Amino acid sequence: MIWLLGGYMWLYVHRPFEIYPSLGALQIERGYMFLMLTAWLVYPNKGFSFSRMHLAIGMFLVALLGSWASSPFANKPGCWETVDNTLKVLVFYAVMVTTVRDEKGLRLLVLLFLAVTGVYMSHSFYEFMCGRYQHRMGVNRMMGVDVTYADPNAFASTLLYTLPLLVPFWNEIPRRVPRWLIIAYAGLAAYCIVRTGSRAGMLGLVLWTLMYIVGAAKNKF
C-alpha cells in the first residue's frame, strides 16, 4: 500500500500529464486515485488513532469549504482548483494515516517522497540547463517542469519543504542512506532554490541552514 502512495506522490508532484499534454486526456491521476482507494478498501491492516492533528485538519477543511461556498467569488478561475487540490491532499492524508502504522512504513514513505521530489527537481534542472526558464526582473529564473507548480516561487517552496526530511537520514544509526546521496540532494536543492530567484525561498534556505547548525551544535555539546 505504501508503494501505491509513493506512485500517487509522483503523479501529484511531477505531474507527467502536464509535461506531456497527450497524457492529459487519459485522466491518469484520477484513475490512479480510484485504483489506490480500491486497494485501500480491501487493505487488511488499516487502523486509526485519534490525534489533535486530525481535529485541526478537519476544522481547516470546514473553514475552507464554508469560505468557498459562501464567497461571491466561488466561480472565479482558481477558486475551485484550490478546493480540488486541497481535497486530493486530504484524501491522500486519510489513506496515509490509516495504512502507515509504524516507523518502518513512515521511513519508506518519506524516502519515496524524497525520491519523487529528487526526480522532479532533476528534470526541472535539466530543462533549465536546456534553456527553459522564466525571465523576470532581469533574471533568468528556474521554474518547475510542470504547469501547476511551475512558478519559480512555488518551485522553490516545494524544494525547501523537503530539506528538513533529510535530517533523520543524516543522523540515523546504523546509516542506511549514503551521506553522499544526501549531500548531493541538498546541494542540488540549494542550487535550484538560488536559481529560482525567489527571495522567500533563499531566506527560508538561510534560516533552515542556521537552524540546523544551531541544533547540531546543541546536540554535540
Residues shown for the chain: 221
- Residue 220 has a pLDDT of 64
Cell output for 9:
506522490
Pick from 103, 116, 100: nearest CA to 176: 103
pLDDT band at 1 (very low <50, low <70, confident <90, very high): confident
The string of pLDDT tens digits covering residues 52-92 is 888 999 899 999 999 988 888 888 877 888 888 888 889 88
Q: Look at residue 4 and tell me whether its pLDDT is greater than 70.
A: yes
Backbone angles phi, psi at 140, to 5 degrees: -80, 110
Kindly list the distances between the CA atom of residue 30 and the CA atoms of 47, 91, 197, in Å, as whole numbers in the listed order: 25, 12, 33
**What's the whole-model pTM score?**
0.86
Note whether 32 and 11 are within 8 A (CB): yes
Lowest mean pLDDT among 42-51, 90-99, 183-192: 42-51
Whether the per-residue pLDDT at 117 is higher than 90: the answer is yes
Q: What is the pLDDT of residues 195-217, one digit of tens each?
A: 998 888 899 999 988 888 887 77
CB 153 within 8 A of CB 196: yes
Query: Which amino acid, 204?
Result: G
CA separation (Å) from 158 to 44, 65, 120, 146?
33, 25, 10, 12
11: its cell numbers: 503523479
Q: Which three cell numbers, joined as nine digits, stand for 176?
A: 542506511
Q: Answer for the pair 104, 176: CB distance below 8 angstroms, yes or no.
A: no
Q: Check whether 160 has a pLDDT greater than 90.
A: yes
pLDDT in tens, 16-38: 887 877 776 778 888 888 899 99
Residue pair 143/124 in contact by the 8 Å Cβ criterion = yes
Amino acid 221: pLDDT:
57
